[in-house]
Structure 1
């Protein structure tokens, strides 16, 4: 197994893992991001996100060794008025067939190495309340799951309705 920074040519595999996570979270139709979106927004002079990929050697059909991306940790930088620069771990995904292999821990560890390297004061992420194995893992690692905070979101329809309330009449 190898953990490395993701490259633009990895984005098709990254999208496959994002789709696998959406299916796991019971929202397979929710993913609208495309490979082109990932390529545009994750690379260039001002990337909106960064990604670590976990790859393993696979035996190709022609008996040459090749690599397969089987996990990702996608993150971006935020600013906290209390802490300053922070990292938000958007998603940590390991292909279902590779869960329990240590890849998730390796990706998780890489995020904290990056945080330490960047001297950020906090790493934060969300976890679904029904994902008990993940919650237990995070708590065992020393993370605090903040029960008193609620995630707030507004989707495209909500934004439109808020900005143009007369259209609803």
Structure 2
């Protein structure tokens, strides 16, 4: 699970990442049932595949980012993608996709993913952060107008005197 060289977690070994891969594979299999001649269903297919890809891509991004605000931003994107993927069966059904019953498999997998997501986000280091001046992804009790203690660190740049 850890990379020997720098003791970082390999995102591909995380349960949430593995579940995201599983979801993508199922979404891809269902999307293969969509007729390529139907422009509406093909558009939905593209959205579904993109949402399913984000479930792993953003986990990897969050694990590489380390900072709380970056990790929370990735988590918010994952949540949005998962929620949109959860309701895509309505779009498929509306445009005449014949196999909407298979979509329950995706919903069940997304529920498993959601539970892994909760644990994953709970493990974010809240005190490894840069203040998010937009105010969305700060740790608890940190606000967008708070003083940044890093501003107090003297820095002379390249001054050699």
Instruction: Calculate the TM-score normalised by the size of structure 1.
Output: 0.27
Structure index of larger Rg: 2
Q: As a proportion of its length, which structure holds more helix?
A: 2
Q: As a proportion of its length, which structure holds more strand?
A: 1
